[in-house]
Structure 1
Amino acid sequence: MSRKPKSDNPRCIHSWSEEDKPREKLMLKGRAALTDAELIAILICSGTPETSAVDLAKIIMASVGNSIHELAKLDYKTFMKYRGMGKAKAISIVAALELGRRRSDIMPTRKRKIMGSESVYKEMRQYLLDKPNEEFWILLLNRGNEVMRALPVSVGGVSGVAVDIKLIFKLAIDYLASAVILVHNHPSGQLIPSMLDKMLTTQIKEAGLLLDIPILDHMIFTDSGFYSFLDSGEM
């Protein structure tokens, strides 16, 4: 009896599209675009015939309340209790988490709370300053309006960028965000929103209301200043 190739299994990562595979996604979109489970899946490398590495990582994360802090408390023997986790995989995860802990020991934790449009602009300068093409980003906030993640959604040309609204809310849900701030840059330096900017803002805001994930603001970023839809009374 011949065996089916692994690619026939819908749970097998090899059968996924390139942009959905954790390693390929990291190379295409950068490390910040990956969820915690996807990063752990890269360390796991492979799952079982029934469970992909990403699904295994999600099971592990769910068992610790989706908390990296709680995950870091586990030793390698505890990781080995999960089906599909051998000693080498368990030790790799423990070692990676220990590196993260040591880094936090030498770097002060900075709570970045969004107090208004000025703090949004300050937060986004590190990502959008001097960018030659339009990029669309989101800031994911917790209930205290503290920045959980700044994530790129899409990159366009010098005068426009296409935005997948579904992706915005997929990222917000993946990271359990309580609110979202939209940010995109105008390399031209033009601070007046286009009609498309206004229409997109309305569409995303309405989708957020349906999903109970409020869109707090949409900022147009330039190297010399910004335009806030909220400050302008358009939210």
Structure 2
Amino acid sequence: KLICQGCAALTDAELLAILIGSGSREHTALSLAKLILAAADQSLIRLGKFTVEQLCQFKGIGEAKAVTISAALEIARRSIREPREAQMKISDSSSAYHVLAPKLAYLEHEEFRILYLNNANKVIQQTLISRGGITGTLVDVRLVLRKALELGAVGLILAHNHPSGNLVPSEADKEITRKIQLGAKVMDIKVLDHLIVAQQGYFSFADQNLLL
């Protein structure tokens, strides 16, 4: 079917069955694929969060097959990041989200990242500043600004994720935004936005007029 009609003609279960290759005594590769997708609520995003150990819980899925499935889903995630970030011009919150979502949207822990921009608002570098737990992460303002000077950045877009999916900024979110803005202003560097990222979308400080 894939050869005759192309990949787009196949269902998610059929594509997953190709990765599985062969089934077990109880299930064909296709029926096994359907079982796995059912456990992920028919969501490839949820399936992408399954660990190798979790995939191996399905009878007929050994470590090699689980690794193959995990690798294929990771390739799909990485393909979303193209074209290269360094070629991306950030014109609004939506374009910033497009760059940041592949790194932040599907994490189960919190991370704080920054897009460092040149004077044409093109991405110089995306940098992981800190990694925390489910409910928060600490940010060193000095580290943020030191990196900006090293890269010659003139603009910053702050971003972190909320694993809970709640897009409402906390008081801590507002405070760290204010601190970075005040420090950056002294160095003639502008904080253009702060995005809170989740699977279902994002919150933009700039769009909501919450920047100084």
TM > 0.5 between the two? yes
The reply to whether residue 144 of structure 1 matches residue 99 of structure 2 is no
Q: Which residue of 2 aligns with 1:128?
A: 104
Q: Which residue of 2 aligns with 1:187?
A: 163
Residues 179-226 of structure 1 show CA distances to partners (whole Å, capped at 9, x for unaligned) of 111000000000000011111111111111111111111110101100
Q: Which residue of 2 aligns with 1:222?
A: 198
Residue 129 of structure 1: CA displacement? 2.7
Q: Give the secondary-structure state (helix, strand or coil) at the position aligned to 1:205.
A: helix
Letter in 1 for 2:199: D
Q: Which residue of 2 aligns with 1:165?
A: 141
Judged with a 3 Å threshold, the aligned counterparts in structure 2 of structure 1 residues 132 and 177 are, in CA distance, closer, same or farther, namely same
Distance in 2 (alpha carbons) for counterparts of 1:136 and 1:209: 20
Pick aligned residue for 2:130 from 126, 136, 154: 154
Judged with a 3 Å threshold, the aligned counterparts in structure 2 of structure 1 residues 108 and 180 are, in CA distance, closer, same or farther, namely closer
Residues 70-101 of structure 1 show CA distances to partners (whole Å, capped at 9, x for unaligned) of xxxxxxxxxxxxxxxxxxxxxxxxxxxxxxxx
Q: Give the secondary-structure state (helix, strand or coil) at the position aligned to 1:123.
A: helix
Distance in 2 (alpha carbons) for counterparts of 1:188 and 1:146: 30
Distance in 1 (alpha carbons) for counterparts of 2:204 and 2:83: 30
Q: Which residue of 2 aligns with 1:234?
A: 210
Residue 128 of structure 1: CA displacement? 1.1
Distance in 2 (alpha carbons) for counterparts of 1:116 and 1:129: 18
Distance in 2 (alpha carbons) for counterparts of 1:191 and 1:167: 26
Distance in 2 (alpha carbons) for counterparts of 1:198 and 1:108: 31
Q: 1 or 2 for the larger relative contact order (CA 8 Å, sep ≥6)?
A: 2
Structure 1 length-normalised TM: 0.53
Unaligned stretches of 5+ residues in structure 1: 1-106
Letter in 2 for 1:157: G
Q: For 1:24-43, list aligned pairs within 5 A.
A: none
Q: For 1:48-87, list aligned pairs within 5 A.
A: none
Residue 126 of structure 1: CA displacement? 2.0
Pick aligned residue for 1:175 from 151, 158, 170: 151
Q: Structure 1 stretches (4+) deviating beyond 3 angstroms?
A: 107-110
Residue 108 of structure 1: CA displacement? 7.9
After superposition, the CA RMSD in angstroms is: 1.6
User: What is the aligned length?
Assistant: 129
Q: Give the secondary-structure state (helix, strand or coil) at the position aligned to 1:114.
A: coil
How many percent identity over aligned positions? 39
Distance in 1 (alpha carbons) for counterparts of 2:147 and 2:153: 8
Distance in 1 (alpha carbons) for counterparts of 2:159 and 2:148: 14
Judged with a 3 Å threshold, the aligned counterparts in structure 2 of structure 1 residues 161 and 119 are, in CA distance, closer, same or farther, namely same
Structure 2 length-normalised TM: 0.59
Residue 111 of structure 1: CA displacement? 2.3
The reply to whether residue 204 of structure 1 matches residue 180 of structure 2 is yes
Q: Which residue of 2 aligns with 1:42?
A: none
Q: Which residue of 1 aligns with 2:94?
A: 118
Distance in 1 (alpha carbons) for counterparts of 2:167 and 2:121: 25
Q: Give the secondary-structure state (helix, strand or coil) at the position aligned to 1:172.
A: helix
Distance in 2 (alpha carbons) for counterparts of 1:208 and 1:122: 24
